[in-house]
Amino acid sequence: MKEPSNEPAIRLVMQPKFTNPDGDIFGGVILSMIDEAAAVEAQRQAHHRYVTVAMDSIQFHLPVHVGDIVSLWCRTVEVGRSSLKIHIDVLAHPRCSDDEKKVTEATVTMVAIDEQRRAVPVF
Ligand SMILES: CC(C)(COP(=O)(O)OP(=O)(O)OC[C@H]1O[C@@H](n2cnc3c(N)ncnc32)[C@H](O)[C@@H]1OP(=O)(O)O)[C@@H](O)C(=O)NCCC(=O)NCCS
């Protein structure tokens, strides 16, 4: 298993198209980014086709707003035979500020699969 990367898997500016009518970013947008970030981290660990089998313990700590720069930091916390458990911290900071805060965290399990969609060893 590789050590955690020293850069985020994803970094993105939150656009108005991601908001609810109150101007906050939809939780589902953050969940989608978490899923993508886990896929990036899984690929960094070992090259396979992966599927998401579980998203556990998702906690939304703080709201995210339009213009925030959101960074998703991943670390693989467990390696099974065909699965990787990946923890994702989502940090956000307003565009003109260094005041970065953890807004969401989650643990996602990705499974490596073959062309028949059968689970295969990661390593
Ligand atoms: C992932 C999938 C291939 C696993 O198939 P399966 O028949 O359960 O295969 P296995 O029993 O061999 O399990 C494979 C691994 O998944 C893990 N796993 C299965 N269900 C799990 C769950 N609910 N939570 C965490 N891990 C799970 C197993 O522990 C195993 O890990 P290991 O090999 O590291 O020990 C199958 O469940 C699947 O295709 N699911 C749909 C995934 C998908 O399409 N995701 C996107 C949804 S839009």
42 in contact with ligand 1, CB cutoff 6 A:
no
**How far apart are the CA of 111 and the centre of ligand 1, in A?**
6
What's the pLDDT tens digit per position in 30-70?
Answer: 999 999 999 999 999 999 999 999 998 899 999 999 999 99
Annotate 4-42 with b (16+ C-beta within 10 A) or e (fewer): eeeebbbeeebeeebbeeeeebeeebbbebbebbbbebb
Share of the chain above pLDDT 90, in %: 89
Phi, psi of 36 (to 5 degrees): -65, -40
Domains of the chain with CATH codes: 10-113 (3.10.129.10)
Residue length of the chain: 123
**How far apart are the CA of 51 and the centre of ligand 1, in A?**
8
Question: Quick check: 85 and 27 in contact, CB under 8 A?
Answer: no
Beta strand 83-93 with 101-113 is antiparallel
